[in-house]
Amino acid sequence: MHYRIRHQLAYQYSNSVALDPQRLYLQPKQTAFQRTEEFRLGIFPENAKVVCNTDAEGNTQHLAFFKHPTTELTLIAESIVETTQSNPFDFILYPFDAQKLPLKYSDAERRLLGAYFEKEGITPHVEQFARLVATENRWDTLRFLMGLNEAIHGFSYEIREEGAPLAADVTLGARKGSCRDYAVLFMTCCRAFGIPARFVSGYYFGGAEGAQYLHAWVEVYLPGAGWRGFDPTQNCLAADMHIVLATSAIPEMITPVSGTYWGQAESGLEVQVAITPMVYSLNN
C-alpha cells in the first residue's frame, strides 16, 4: 500500500513566548516492511534552524531551534509511504520451542534488548491479568499475544490527544483508556513474562470516511520472527494499514512533538491528520 500523509499541528499562545528547542518525531521510520519515499517538514516561524538526527533507537528525529519570540508554532509533516506487510502472520517462531511460553533468548540478545525487558510498572494486578490470559491460552506464545489484544480491546476506548500514557495498572483498574494507554498495558504484560516489547507511535488507516488521528501500538521481539506489531485498540496484528513513525522502550521518548516555552501565556493546539491511499496503475 502507498499512502500520502499530511499531519499538521498548530500551537497558539495567548502572548508572545520564547520557544525552547522542539524535538520532533514526524518522519515515518524505515523498516523491513515500510519505506518512506518522500518527506517534507514545514515549520512556522520560518526562521527556525532544523537539524535531522538518528536517535539511540534508530528513529529519525528533528530538532528545531528558534531565535525570536512568537505567538504561534505550526508544524506540517507531509509524507509518501509504502507499506508491504500484507500478511502479518508470515513468520516462523524458531527455535520451535518458542511456540510456548516462557521464551528463551541468547545472552547476546538479552544484552542488546536490555531496555525492552525492563520490569517497570509491573504490579501484582498486572501480572495476575497477564497470567490469566496466558493460562486461558494454554501458554501458547502467539495465542497469548492475540488473547492479550482481545482482552484489552474489550475495555472502553477513549480519545485523548494530549498527555503521557497512563500507567498499566491505572488502565487495567479503570478498564478504559486511549490507544497509548492500551499499548503501555500490553507492553507491560509482555515484559512481565520476559517478552521484550516496545512502544510504537504512528498512524492507522481505518478508512477514508472517519476522522484520522495519531495512533499507538506495540512491537514484541520474538525468536525467529524479530519485531512484530500487535494493536490492542484494533485487536489485530500490525500490517500494511499501520504506518510507523518511531519506536522506543520508553513511550515518552518518542512523543511526536515535545518541548517547552518561556513566557506568561496559555497555549492551545489544533491537530489535523489526513491519510490518503494512493493507487498506481500498471503503466506507472
Q: For residue 163, what pLDDT is reported?
A: 82
Mean pLDDT, each 10-residue run in order, the chain (284 residues): 97 97 98 97 95 98 97 98 97 97 97 97 98 98 98 95 90 97 98 98 86 92 98 98 98 96 95 90 50
Please give the Cα distance from 85 to 83 (Å, whole number): 6
Confidence at residue 47, expressed as pLDDT on a 0 to 100 scale: 87
The domain tally of the chain equals: 2
Domain that holds residue 216: 96-239
pLDDT of residue 283: 52
Q: β-strand 261-262 against 2-19: which pairing, if any? A: antiparallel
| 223 plus 177 within the same structural domain | yes
106 and 74 assigned to the same domain:
no
* Three-class secondary structure of residue 107 per DSSP: helix
- The answer on 112 and 216 residing in a single domain is yes
User: What's the pTM?
Assistant: 0.95
Same structural domain for residues 53 and 158?
no
Q: CATH number, domain at 116?
A: 3.10.620.30
Domain check: are 44 and 114 in the same one? no
Grid coordinates standing for 174? 479503570
Q: Which pLDDT score, from 0 to 100, does residue 206 have?
A: 87
**Interacting residues of 42 by C-beta distance below 8 A, sequence separation 6+:** 74, 75, 76, 77, 78
* Helices 141-153/124-136 angle, 10° precision: 120
Question: Is residue 132 one of the residues assigned to a domain?
Answer: yes
In a domain, 20, yes or no: yes
Does residue 67 lie within any of the structural domains? Answer: yes
What pLDDT, on the 0 to 100 scale, is given for residue 212? 84
Same-domain status, 45 and 123? no
Q: Is residue 113 in a domain?
A: yes
* Residue 246 forms part of a structural domain: no
35 and 170 together in one domain: no
